Amino acid sequence: MARVLLQNIWKRYPGDVVAVKNFNLDIQDKEFVVFVGPSGCGKTTTLRMVAGLEDITEGDLYIGDRRVNDVAPKDRDIAMVFQNYALYPHMTVYQNMAFGLKLRKFPKAEIDRRVREAARILDIEHLLDRKPKALSGGQRQRVALGRAIVREPQVFLMDEPLSNLDAKLRVQMRAEIRKLHQRIQTTTIYVTHDQTEAMTMGDRIVVMRDGVIQQVATPQEVYNHPVNMFVAGFIGSPAMNFLRGELVEEGGSIYFRAPEISIRLPEGRYPALRQAGVIRKPVVLGIRPEDLHEDEVFQATYPEGTITGRVEVVEHMGSELYLHFTKGGQPIVARVSARFDPRPGSEVKLTMDMNKLHIFDAETEQAVG
């Protein structure tokens, strides 16, 4: 069992810095969990507390059934993979991978078995006699992973392991780490500031901000049901559009009103909106760029969600386009098929998918209904 349980964990640094605030998370055996958030949100500090490289100021940390707050890093049965690989330059790939086991006095035959097995899994068998300087960035990262795998730990901890690789290799290694996890199924905590990495790799993702967990859920849940504006804006690219306005109730209908925009909201939303007490209050309407549609079928389905705008910039992304326009002084981006290719300056009609609207309380920034 390699469940990792963090209960009411706090980290305070000298000088009144609270890096992690009351962090609670139950990571299941075999789970791949990603900590994601902007720089300084406390994800590395949390990972380092799990590793034992930082003291825990307050709270309880369990790995398996053991409370490990006071257990030395080497006795926690974890293996860490860092961004800078940290390979020994004077050793071969084989020696780099064998080093940790040798220190722990494993028998030679067992070391050899584990190194060759890991090399096979990572497809680096042909590189075992090379020194790190004769390897590409991706190969070095594989060796760093290999060094973690041979330990056969209960938990892998990975801190931005792909950030030194170029964009193409990052995409490739992202898939390889997922495949590796499917194969060996070791519980993994993975830290990144890259929301795409989080979305594509995590069974669950933990979105953090200023030392506080904002949301813990599957990537789909976080994407489709962000709990607040921070999560909604952080996850997804291009980012969700936010339109500031207010909710008005007229003749039994609830409208979102902003300069040049009036949208009758779907009735299914009314009970939650009324209960949240946001009628006649400032709200923010969120709509993802891909939920603005140019096609007539959508316009016929949701005439009440159709807005017109003058295109200011068209960004060509290959199979799709990003259209930038302004409505009542508020910028909007739509992500549409490249078949629809309006000229800058022309008028376009775009329809919101009314099932994909998000409404946030402008004051608390929390999602409401």
Q: Which residues bind ligand ATP (CB under 6 A)?
A: 13, 17, 19, 37, 39-45, 193
In the complex, minimum distance from the CB of residue 197 to ligand ATP, in angstroms, rounded to a whole number? 12
Q: Which is nearer to ligand ATP, 193 or 204 (CB)?
A: 193
Which DSSP helix (H) or strand (E) runs through 311? strand 306-316
Q: Which is nearer to ligand ATP, 43 or 140 (CB)?
A: 43
Residue 90 burial class via C-beta count within 10 angstroms: exposed 0-12, middle 13-18, buried 19 and up: exposed
Q: What is the DSSP string of 51-64?
A: HTSS--SEEEEEET
C-alpha gyration radius of the chain: 25
Q: Which is nearer to ligand ATP, 224 or 237 (CB)?
A: 237
CB count within 10 Å of CB 196 equals: 15
Angle separating helix axes 93-103 and 108-122, nearest 10 degrees: 130
In the complex, minimum distance from the CB of residue 44 to ligand ATP, in angstroms, rounded to a whole number? 3
Q: Residue 4: what are its φ and ψ, rounded to 5°?
A: -120, 125
For residue 344, is the peptide bond before it cis, meaning its omega torsion is within 30 degrees of 0? no
Q: Which is nearer to ligand ATP, 45 or 195 (CB)?
A: 45
Nearest residue to the partner ligand ATP, using Cβ: 44
Q: Which is nearer to ligand ATP, 4 or 41 (CB)?
A: 41
23, β-bridge pairs:
9
- Helix or strand or coil: residue 173? helix
Which amino acid, one-letter code, is at 352?
A: M
In the complex, minimum distance from the CB of residue 208 to ligand ATP, in angstroms, rounded to a whole number? 7
In the complex, minimum distance from the CB of residue 85 to ligand ATP, in angstroms, rounded to a whole number? 17
Q: Which is nearer to ligand ATP, 43 or 151 (CB)?
A: 43
In the complex, minimum distance from the CB of residue 101 to ligand ATP, in angstroms, rounded to a whole number? 29
Q: Give the dihedral sign, CA 262/268/271/272.
A: negative
In the complex, minimum distance from the CB of residue 221 to ligand ATP, in angstroms, rounded to a whole number? 22
